Amino acid sequence: MKIATTIILTAGATSAFTFDEYQVKFGKSYATDAELSLRKQLFTQRATAVADHNARDERLYTKTLNHLSDRTKTELQQIKGLDKAMLHHQMSLRTKISTSNTATIEDLRGFPDSLDWREKNVITPVKNQGECGSCWTFASAETIESHMAIQTGMLQELSEQFILDCTPNPHECGGSGGCGGGTAELAYDRLTKLGGIPSEWEYPYVSALGNSSTCHGLPLSREQAHSGAVSAAANITGYWHTTTNSYADLLMALVTKGPLAISVDAGAWHDYSGGIFDGGNKTNPDLDHLVQLVGYGVDQGESYWLVRNSWTPYWGEKGFIRLKRYDPLKGEKASCGTDVTPLDGNGCAGGPSTVQVCGQSGVLFDGVYPLL
């Protein structure tokens, strides 16, 4: 699909921005009259919602029409890919973290007011997962890229496709891995057993249209110049996770270790354009997307988390979103909601019936980074 620059639709602009113009600007074409009618209906509904939101004086962020504005809810769900059932299954198997290893709010005093890992040359360009539910492979690979760059000074793109093709979901929790979803923990466990991950150049991404390919290149050879074999560009020895719903742990890991893969509810992100996002479902958040946390800061008195997405650089703020951050050092308290369907899908019986999820879009729930 050809993607054009996103266009912010302001209040009252619905009549000026027609569906015909939308098709031209975003390179849209539809197979049948029935599909054309459906897409036009979806476009009209979202154009109205965008205009209404942007007309609010008190808003912290703006919405826009973009390449996702004619998608159905089912299609929008497919471009995420966090296997929530697998996430909660793996969390139930974790060893309890001792309190001595858990950060406290007092530990954060003296930290800088802002941090942006992009400024330290450890973040690769924003990517595009396409129609495959492979967000989990992108966030996992991107976070390895960052930690490898922090440790070695060398930043290179690593293969999401290798994770996608070569990581089964052994418990079939809500899916089967691949474009059906997974988690960072699942990816890092598998890469540890396989001996590492190859580069993007040796094992490129080919699943943008929604189909996984076949795992190849195993066993991985040691990285050698011009060998012609699929080799390990980075080695993984395991992973570490933050304490569930701990602001102090998440911020401590972000500052002292580097970017993290985080689980979020992205159900209201599709038309985000810019600003500090404070929308979505806070009562019953539904974790459905894996992204990369790369920083934090303050803008005109409003604190935020800086998050990298995998929906192209044409989405949001050049591929990034800023989430509302409730800073305990300022006396602020993050809202918490209850995920009432933590085991959506099949498998993983015996898991919790409900799960508490805290922070804007669930940002505090689960932070993971690789051990190299």
Residues identified as active-site: 135, 289, 309
Distance of alpha carbon 23 from alpha carbon 60, whole angstroms? 29
Distance of alpha carbon 313 from alpha carbon 5, whole angstroms? 9
Helix (H) or strand (E) holding 324: strand 320-324
Distance of alpha carbon 230 from alpha carbon 162, whole angstroms? 10
**Is there a contact between 297 and 115 (Cβ–Cβ < 8 Å)?**
yes
Distance of alpha carbon 139 from alpha carbon 137, whole angstroms? 6
> Amino acid identity, residue 233?
A
Distance of alpha carbon 234 from alpha carbon 145, whole angstroms? 8
Distance of alpha carbon 367 from alpha carbon 161, whole angstroms? 22
Question: Regarding beta strands 231-232 and 221-222, do their DSSP bridges make them parallel or antiparallel, or are they unpaired?
Answer: parallel
> Amino acid identity, residue 319?
G
Distance of alpha carbon 197 from alpha carbon 163, whole angstroms? 8
